[in-house]
């Protein structure tokens, strides 16, 4: 079964510090990977997907097939980045979206 692992439940950094939220996946095919974010009192929403290779709100994520990782990075964290972040993967058929356990990012002033 496909599995997504986010080893850190909580990540606390100061404003302006670099951030890296770790994600490892287990699907042996060619997965489609995503990062979703849930701000306080808001719905879970897409932050970015690996196929787009884009930067959203200063965040980027690189797929490393050798390490089966898809870590989320931002060079300078902002207080408004505080939220729950979930890494997710689709199987090849795109019909089973599996999430990691989530990492709570707290950015302190």
Q: Which residues contact other proteins by CB under 8 A?
A: 1, 9, 32, 34, 36, 43-46, 49, 84, 86, 88, 90, 94-99, 101-102, 104
Which runs of E-coded beta strand occur in the chain?
4-5, 10-14, 19-21, 24-25, 32-38, 45-49, 60-61, 72-74, 83-90, 97-99, 103-108
Comparing CB distances to other proteins, the nearer of 16 and 101 is 101
Provide, rounded to whole angstroms, the least separation between the CB of residue 49 and other proteins: 7
Provide, rounded to whole angstroms, the least separation between the CB of residue 48 and other proteins: 10
């Amino acid at each position: 079964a496909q599995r997504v692992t986010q080893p850190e439940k909580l990540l606390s950094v100061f404003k302006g510090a670099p951030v890296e939220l770790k994600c490892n996946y287990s699907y042996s095919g060619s997965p489609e990977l995503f990062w979703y974010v849930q701000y306080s009192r808001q719905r879970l929403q897409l932050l970015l997907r690996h196929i787009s290779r884009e930067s959203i709100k200063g965040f980027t994520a690189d797929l490393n097939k050798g390490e089966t990782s898809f870590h989320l990075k931002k060079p300078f964290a902002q207080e408004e980045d505080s939220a729950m972040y979930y890494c997710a993967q689709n199987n090849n058929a795109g019909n089973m979206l599996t999430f990691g356990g989530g990492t709570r990012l707290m950015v302190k002033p």
